[in-house]
Amino acid sequence: MSQRVAIITGAGRGIGAATAVQLAAAGWSLVLVDAPDPDPALPYELCTAAELDAVAASTGALTHRGDVRDVEALAGAVALAESRLGGLDAAIACAGVIGGGVPQWDVPPATEQALLDINLGGVLNLARVAVPALLRRPSPRSGRFIAVASAAASRGMPMIAAYCAAKAGVTGLVRSLAAELGASGVTANAVSPGSTRTAILDESARLYALDSADDFAAQQPMERLLEPAEIAAAIAFLAGEGSSAITGAVLPVDGGLAL
């Protein structure tokens, strides 16, 4: 098989960065997308330009700075993959944010909208521009659309209602995409992480007034936090040839949290 090409959103740190490292090690060519700018609706530090550049330097990837809420920015990433790397074989939606810390009716509307627009809207936007590119590959295809959902998609969790709603939307989206893609050779799947050692978990600890993100470990049967590389390994599997019979699936990588 010729060298395969992937776009990864939210690639500046966390699960997105870990996925970039694993795919690059497997020989993929990459376009890394992130928006290294603060957002006033989200009161914690997001990815920085230095973080995105560091991931690109370590993986030999191209970078494309853009917000997943901007469908034209994502279209630019697809155009970069096709013009510089020859096409697109996988689109991986890792961009995500957290917010809340109070009952849903008390969450600032701007924060709630950001959670919906990034965590769900960003996946919809990526599908809108990336799936046609995956289908532009000649048949027989082996394209992959993969999104990061969350164990929060299937659990009622207090004080992060918009996050839960958005992630539940992601799981519904990949199932519908799988049905629409049918026998095209392009699959659509999601991974559903549990408590993973990322900036989102650190902010979650603050929202729940916990001393440390490590306090979340007790809720998982494995009694430890997951590492981004463990989630990335599942994504890399779904991106590879060995997942050819899997579509419309939501793969739990959660230390047993969903039990």
Residue 76, judged by CB atoms within 10 A of its CB (0-12, 13-18, 19+), counts as middle
* Encoded tokens for 119: 């965590």
* Encoded tokens for 222: 């494995």
* Encoded tokens for 91: 């689109």
Question: d(Cα 166, Cα 34) in Å, to the nearest integer?
Answer: 19
* Contact assessment for residue 88 and residue 76, using Cβ atoms and an 8 Å cutoff: no
* Contact assessment for residue 216 and residue 204, using Cβ atoms and an 8 Å cutoff: yes
DSSP class of residue 154 equals S
Question: d(Cα 52, Cα 34) in Å, to the nearest integer?
Answer: 7
CA distances from 256 to 27, 45, 72, 193 (A): 31, 29, 38, 10
Please give the positions annotated as active site.
Answer: 163
